[in-house]
Amino acid sequence: MRKTLFDKVWLKHVVVPETETHPATIFIDLHLIHEVTSPQAFTLLSNRGLGVRRPDLTLATIDHSTPTLVNHDGSRPYVSDEARIQVETLLKNTKKFGIETHGWDSEYRGIVHVMGPELGATHPGATIVCGDSHTSTHGAFGAIAFGIGTTQVGHVLANQCILMKKPKTMAINVNGKLNRGVTPKDVILHIISLIGIGGGTGYAIEYRGNVFEEMSMDGRMTVCNMSIEAGARCGMIAPDAVTFEFLKNRKYTPPNYENSCAEWLSLSTDEGALFDKEVNIEADMIKPMVTYGTHPGMGIPIDSFIPKSNNSAEKDSLNYMQINEGDKILGIKVDKVFIGSCTNSRMDDLRAAASVFNKKKIASHVKALVVPGSAQIKALAEKEGLDKIFMDAGAEWREAGCSMCLGMNGDIGLPGELIVSTSNRNFMGRQGPGVRTILASPETAASTAIAGILEDPRNSKKIK
Amino acid sequence: MTIEPLKLVSSRTLVLTSSNIDTDQIMPAKFLSMTTQNGLGVHVFSNLRYTDDGTLTNHELNSVSGKTCKILVAGDNFGCGSSREHAPWGLTDYGFRVIISSSIADIFKANALKNGLLPVTINIDVHEWLLRNPGVYVTVNLETCLVELPSGMGSHSFEIDSFSRYCLLEGLDEMGYLLAQSDQISEFEDR
């Protein structure tokens, strides 16, 4: 029987097969944990007198509640005592159970979905979970990777397995040539606007076609990251030479790397394998995209008009965003710009933003925040002088973390402010109570910071 | 370890008509900093329930009758977004035992089932009727997998996987089931 990439990886991890009455027991190769969704799971373990079954397959970092500023005396300005305690609780729990942890003193600390791949811990054909819905990011390497809740974090800590029914599979095929100024972020925003915020519910997505084959790993991670914004817990891309090049010579690259690559290549979907659903998209239909509403499915080409509302929820959305049907979205006045998050905080993203910022100043009324995804990214960006470009333009260059994507660390906007953000969610209040969010690519965000109004990135000569 | 078994829930419905109610709305990120899971009910839907200065709004979620509702009826695609289990923790702490919608997001659904909160996906006609008739008395029967509506509107079946149903009916969590597979997991690890 011809199998999909998802089928092959799934089958290799079945400990106990699914039956009519019971879900499958699936072995997990890598469990990533962070401070927000793990403390109650560790409490569950200690309440039941359980240990961590495979600390060697568990990796921890601190990213959500962490300040992105450092005080003059070197201390960290936590937003609250709770946030500080949460970070300390993670460090205490991981020390107790012998889990490798990338805390403040690690050169690898970063957003969990940036750090895993950088360490080379994200392997093709692996099963990866984390108490974070953007775990789908790791699917860019051909892994089955998905977010879980805290109860399941406890299950994996204790058993290295989860119980799950096999999801349906969906192929999203994007073929052809991308237009000038269209980035991976625009591709995924286009896809979500097409299939809808719930269009992927119940499915594992495989992104297929020459557009993804020609994408860098950074771009592939941006695409897979936002699978969950279409409701799909998991999004994957078949591993290939680009994947293998990325994974070379990293801390956790498998020792028998050449053999591993050969095995990983065989994971690709068999020719003629059937998906439960297929979506075909022509690449040249995609334009630079932005969101205009209050969920990631409400996306439009940046040069188009606000669509008519189909229902009361969409009307509420426009009211919240303070925009009107039929208006242009270009030119809307912007208060803040955020470049960062597990969606767009990698080198490709920072280089793209820097090329737009180069020798330009951001608008005087705009505050711009550039937050690298990890300490590794921060160091490399500084080596390339990108930090100087951002700061010369008038942007703030911060310590790595999730930052303004969800504002848990206090990096938030003020009520009513409009933020153009390279993150993944434009939900009401996500970036602070009453804050309005427009999701966009790093190129659009940088162009906008300079213009002070939502700006078409194609107006910059630096855009390819 | 056990959770409170769920067999039959009879209650008035509390209705939130919006579609795509995400977990950021159910439990805003500023309430995720805690390291325990109790007491989140006061924060659930905090943006609907409190004004900027923290005073209570007149939303039904704040009313005495609202707090007796065990069944939440919500618009399509309930629970989309983040994997935060704080969302079902807050909903159950508030008092809900059942969520009814035309579609419920995957991660939220999985989290709800692990906390004695029954996610019920029902056909669009019944869903629309429930959205149009807030506060009606509804019985959700997990043994028969039926939603029983009032005033001659009949009973309507819903689907739930048999394992989750069994765990909810018996009040069992999945940890014990997984721990019992320890030998099989060891065999897998040795392969």
- Break chain B into its structural domains and give their ranges: 8-190
What mean pLDDT comes out for the span A4-25?
98
Question: Is the model's pLDDT at B92 over the cut of 80?
Answer: yes
What mean pLDDT comes out for the span A209-231?
98
What mean pLDDT comes out for the span A287-316?
96
- A163/B178 touch (CB, cutoff 8 Å), yes or no: yes
The string of pLDDT tens digits covering residues A389-407 is 999 999 999 999 999 999 9
Question: Is the model's pLDDT at B19 over the cut of 80?
Answer: yes
Query: Do residues A273 and A4 make contact, with C-beta atoms less than 8 angstroms apart?
Result: yes
Which of A109-123, A269-283, B30-44 has the weakest average pLDDT? B30-44
What residues of chain A, 71 to 100, have a C-beta less than 8 Å from chain B?
80, 82-83, 85-86, 89
What confidence tier does A210 reach under pLDDT thresholds 50, 70, 90? very high
The string of pLDDT tens digits covering residues A104-121 is 999 999 999 999 999 999
- Note whether B1 contacts A: Cβ–Cβ < 8 A: yes
What confidence tier does B94 reach under pLDDT thresholds 50, 70, 90? very high
Between B48 and A418, the higher pLDDT residue: A418
What mean pLDDT comes out for the span A123-145?
98
What confidence tier does A81 reach under pLDDT thresholds 50, 70, 90? very high
Classify A439 as helix, strand or coil: strand
CA distances from A340 to A222, A327, A388 (A): 11, 28, 17
Question: Is the model's pLDDT at B1 over the cut of 70?
Answer: no
Q: Which residue of A has its CA nearest to B1?
A: A48
Question: Is the model's pLDDT at B2 over the cut of 70?
Answer: no
Spell out the domains of chain A, with CATH numbers in brackets: 5-164 (3.30.499.10), 168-240+256-285 (3.40.1060.10), 289-459 (3.30.499.10)
pTM > 0.90: yes
Q: Domain B8-190: which CATH class?
A: alpha beta
Q: Which residue of B has its CA nearest to A64?
A: B33
CA distance A186 to B187: 45
Number of H helices, E strands in chain B: 8, 7
ipTM of the complex: 0.96
CA distance A329 to A290: 9
Tokens of A152: 């399941």
What mean pLDDT comes out for the span A207-227?
98
Phi-psi region of A425 (alpha: psi -120 to 50; beta: other; left: phi over 0): beta
- Note whether A265 contacts B: Cβ–Cβ < 8 A: no
Classify B22 as helix, strand or coil: strand
Element (H, E) at B179: helix B174-179
- B173/A16 touch (CB, cutoff 8 Å), yes or no: no
Rg of chain B, C-alpha, whole Å? 17
Question: Is the model's pLDDT at A50 over the cut of 60?
Answer: yes
Question: CA angle, corner A398, sides to A395 and A399, nearest 5?
Answer: 165
Q: What is the pLDDT of residue B65?
A: 84
